[in-house]
Amino acid sequence: MSMFINPLHIPLYDRVDILVAGAGSAGCCAALAASESGLHSVMLLERYGFAGGTSTQMLDTFYGFFTPGSNPRKIVGGWPDLVVDELQKTGSIFLRPNTYGAGTGVNYNPERLKRVWDMLILQQGIRYLLHTTLIDVFPENEGYTCVFWAKGGFGKVMARRVIDATGDADFSHLAGFKYETAGESEPAQSMTTTFRMSNADLEEYKKAGGKKKLVSQMKDAVAQGRHALPRKEGSAHEMNARGCISTVTVKVAGYSGLNAADLTRAEVEGRRQAFVYEDFFRQEVPGFGNSDIIGLSTQIGVRETRRVYGEHRLTKAECMAAEIGADSILLCGAPIEDHRLDPENGEETHWEYIPGSGIYGVPYGCIVPEGSVLAWVTGRCFSATHDAHASCRSMAQTMAMGQAAGFAAARSLEKDEAAKDVSVAALRETLSDRGAVLEIPDKTADTSRDGWLTNR
């Protein structure tokens, strides 16, 4: 809450039952679930001109739907499935094995995904407000006054319930909830500007050894002083657009995602690195001789900033225990994938797999800020330690968290329950009814390229 803004002087834009701040994968699914019963007015507010957050700003593969390893299980369902189904209707997905171990990914065309998010949001009658940044919050007895800035000036929305899906926990920060900032106790994960290249001959690339060969080529190029690549691993994979690849290779470390001066330096450095990789691809990688960068991510990808202290805090020990508690609202099987500031023993990304069943449950308390009555926190800024967060941040999980927050907020209005007191048993029932997966499935998933429909 700021000392400079007087909310009484700000024009009232709207009153809603549920406000979702941030339209990333978590926020979109939160709004979709919250609106499902049709009983509540739901608003989704987003600072950029399109929904999806990281899913459309920079990426093209949902991880986390499937567990890694030789016996893959599909462990996320409900609204996240419906999103993929819409993409599937346009023929715009394929399943691809992930060579770095996060499990089979669902690859999509991110530009189409922007359309899919629009369509689903509008179909549900959600009040959709783009180009609008949440800048202040005033707690009231019956909800929150949320102040935003947009090109037309300041405005306020009065909301009975709020879901913080800003990725950076902007709402929770402004509302006075407690959080840990990345880098406080362990080094924050590095940032990445993703880039896409066109006109690649992927047959030639694969014939010459594909991804496996690429990593050794990167190492050679650096060792022999030909290209100063900042990271000698990462992903360069086929996109859902002919002859195009998408990459997660750039590595920018040591900057804060919450500070404009740091972010400026990080953006400039990320773009510089992208073109260092372009030279390397053109000069050294078979199939890329006539290839160009055709797109950089809308902004540099920030893996972690604020992590709110919730009613429950997911820890590494809990992930590694591979248990599904009676208070679980989603499942995760992704390994810890920690993009480190300083490589230890040459290890640029630290991987640690979930043992035993390979799957753990995420408790409801992880999406409820400590003591919260009227607000939830979901997606990238949920309540977890650094290492647990490094496992539970793939987009299937952020979508699943979002849908749980959306149903919980709707229920809290219907039953007059505080966020921290929502009946988890009833919430789990709603989630199961809607197709969410809360138990380990017996069935091995079909992870063939066209396998999506057989898993549905």
Instruction: Summarize as ranges the residues that interact with ligand FAD (CB under 6 A).
Output: 21-27, 45-48, 53-55, 59, 61-64, 133-134, 165-168, 170, 192, 194, 248, 301-303, 379-380, 393-395, 398
State the DSSP code for 238: E
Q: Are 271 and 293 in contact (CB under 8 A)?
A: no
CA torsion sign for 80, 366, 427, 455 is positive
Helix, strand, coil percentages for the chain (3-state, nearest 5): 35, 25, 40
Least Å distance, CB 62 to ligand FAD, is 5
Residue placing its CB nearer to ligand FAD in the complex, 168 or 311: 168
SS3 87: helix
Least Å distance, CB 128 to ligand FAD, is 12
Degrees (nearest 5) of the Cα angle 166, 171, 177? Answer: 125
Could you give the C-alpha distances from 234 to 101, 104, 124, 215, 348, in angstroms and in order?
12, 16, 38, 8, 9
Q: HSE-up of 252 (CA within 13 Å, CB side)?
A: 25
Residue placing its CB nearer to ligand FAD in the complex, 286 or 394: 394
Least Å distance, CB 405 to ligand FAD, is 11
Least Å distance, CB 102 to ligand FAD, is 7
Residue (of 451, 368, 347) closest to 97 by Cα position: 451
Residue placing its CB nearer to ligand FAD in the complex, 183 or 286: 183
Residue placing its CB nearer to ligand FAD in the complex, 286 or 359: 359
Least Å distance, CB 455 to ligand FAD, is 17
Residue placing its CB nearer to ligand FAD in the complex, 69 or 289: 69
Residue placing its CB nearer to ligand FAD in the complex, 43 or 286: 43
Helices H / strands E in the chain, number of each: 12, 20
SS3 262: helix
Least Å distance, CB 379 to ligand FAD, is 2
Residue placing its CB nearer to ligand FAD in the complex, 105 or 143: 105
In angstroms, the CA 115 to CA 104 distance is 24
What's the chain's length in residues?
Answer: 456
Least Å distance, CB 27 to ligand FAD, is 6
Residue placing its CB nearer to ligand FAD in the complex, 52 or 286: 52
In angstroms, the CA 54 to CA 384 distance is 19
Least Å distance, CB 14 to ligand FAD, is 15
Residue placing its CB nearer to ligand FAD in the complex, 108 or 286: 108
Locate all alpha helices (DSSP H) within 93-235, ordered by sequence: 110-123, 170-175, 202-207, 210-223
Residue placing its CB nearer to ligand FAD in the complex, 252 or 324: 252
Least Å distance, CB 149 to ligand FAD, is 9
Least Å distance, CB 168 to ligand FAD, is 6
Token digits of residue 330: 């989603």
Residue (of 263, 238, 236) closest to 252 by Cα position: 263
CB < 8 Å & 24+ apart, contacts of 110-113 = 110/52, 110/55, 110/56, 110/58, 110/59, 110/60, 111/56, 112/87, 112/240, 113/52, 113/55, 113/56, 113/83, 113/87
